[in-house]
Amino acid sequence: MIEENSSRLDPKLVEEFLKFGKNMIDAPKLVPAPDEINLEVTEHEVAYTEDKVRLLHYKPRTSMQIKTPLIIAYALINRYHILDIHPKKSWVRNLLDQGIDVYMVDWGTPTNMDKYLDLDDYVNGYLDNCVDFVRDESEVDNVSLQGYCTGGTIATVYTSLHPEKVKNFVATAPVIDGWRDTTVVSNLAKHIDVDKMVDSIGNMPPEFMYYCFSILKPFEQGIEKYTNFFRNIENESYVDNFLRVERWLGDTPPIPGELFKQWIRDIYQDNLLIQDKMYVGGKHISLKNITMPIFTQVAVGDHLVSPECSMPLHYAVGSVDKTLRVYPTGHVGMIASSLSQKKVLPELGQWLKEHSELR
């Protein structure tokens, strides 16, 4: 009798399975197609273009209190939309609401023709031209520069080479000390024959990046995430959030071959940046050249860029005025979550206000 009872399924469990099945069938009727989702949330204009790179200038949402504009150098992986993914979780919108003038660098989608673009082109070409454009337009000598993830590496190199143009430097989960990085991504990066890869296939294809994403918590991300999605299929706000992030995740541009080669070799394999041995465009990159106020943000649960990889920047720069903030979240959670809205952004906004020219 006991045996019989223990093998019988709980009716609630059966109900749950049936509901889950129904939700899966109903999903196409309830959920918009990915193409129907518009990831452009906050109003902006394209202020400057060069090749495939665009500099976006966001429309103010309040009276500007801070004269020093902020330029965000987004990462090379995925696109800038994550920083403006949803009105309630928008990094950009929060900063605008704090009276900050925000620009964003969209690196665009490189094609085979761009395979010879290297770090020098990105740092001393595109980013430098964007900074010069903003300095002219805003009539300021220098700007605040924020770099996120690999954009943090580009911004770090830029700030070292052009310190006079950067008033404040914000490094958000920057990739700095590749040897200390404990993520699975760095393990793959360390073992790849990057010369052979670039020589054979040119630009780094998005598919390779998707493989890297797939090995990050594969069961949580591959099972639980989608189970929760189908469970919440009738919750409009949940579905909207989910699809926005999914669409963002599934849209990563190729990385120019030469740039990818230099990034993997110099950062992950030879770890030149933190050792003060890196050269870009024939110029030596010394982190000691970074002497302006710096605000470094890292997340303890970051499984793409581990805190051990980002934090050495705080200790290596020549700045006297430096702040390190460690948040109890992950790589994306730091920039697009309720925590980022309630904690990360107010702290950054306050810091920028204290270190910028006011109107």
Partner 1 sequence: MSSKPQALTSVGPMRNFSTNAKKIATELLDANEDLAEFNKRLTEYYQQLADTWANAQKKVNTKMPKIPNDQEKFDSYKRIWIDIFDNDFTELFDSHKFGENYGKLVASELELSKHWEQMVNVMLQSANLPNKKEIDEIYKELHALRKRVSKLESQTKESKIRSK
Give the binding site for partner 1 (CB under 8 A): 6-10, 12-13, 16, 51, 112-117, 121, 125, 182-184, 187-188, 190-193, 196-197, 200-201, 215, 217-220, 223-224
Token pair 């952004």: residue: 345
Shortest gap between Cβ of 217 and partner 1 (angstroms)?
5
Q: In this structure, what token pair is assigned to residue 176?
A: 């700095």
CA distance 214 to 232: 23
Tell me whether residue 84 or residue 114 sits nearer to partner 1 (CB atom). 114
The question of whether 309 is a catalytic residue gets the answer: no
CA distance 205 to 256: 9
| CA-based max dimension of the chain | 84
Nearest CA-CA partner of 343 in 327, 324, 322, 355:
327
Q: In this structure, what token pair is assigned to residue 279?
A: 């050269």
Q: In this structure, what token pair is assigned to residue 240?
A: 């909207």
Q: In this structure, what token pair is assigned to residue 298?
A: 């890292």
User: Active-site residue among 302, 309, 314, 355?
Assistant: 302
Shortest gap between Cβ of 10 and partner 1 (angstroms)?
4
User: Active-site residue among 44, 81, 162, 331?
Assistant: 331
The question of whether 302 is a catalytic residue gets the answer: yes
Shortest gap between Cβ of 15 and partner 1 (angstroms)?
8
User: Active-site residue among 44, 118, 121, 149?
Assistant: 149
Burial of 17 (0-12, 13-18, 19+ CB in 10 A): exposed
Shortest gap between Cβ of 200 and partner 1 (angstroms)?
4
Q: What three-state secondary structure class fits 328?
A: coil
Q: Estimate to the nearest angstrom the gap between the alpha carbon of 206 and the chain centroid.
A: 16
Tell me whether residue 111 or residue 237 sits nearer to partner 1 (CB atom). 111
Tell me whether residue 187 or residue 237 sits nearer to partner 1 (CB atom). 187
The question of whether 10 is a catalytic residue gets the answer: no
CA distance 264 to 270: 8
Catalytic residue numbers, as ranges: 149, 302, 331
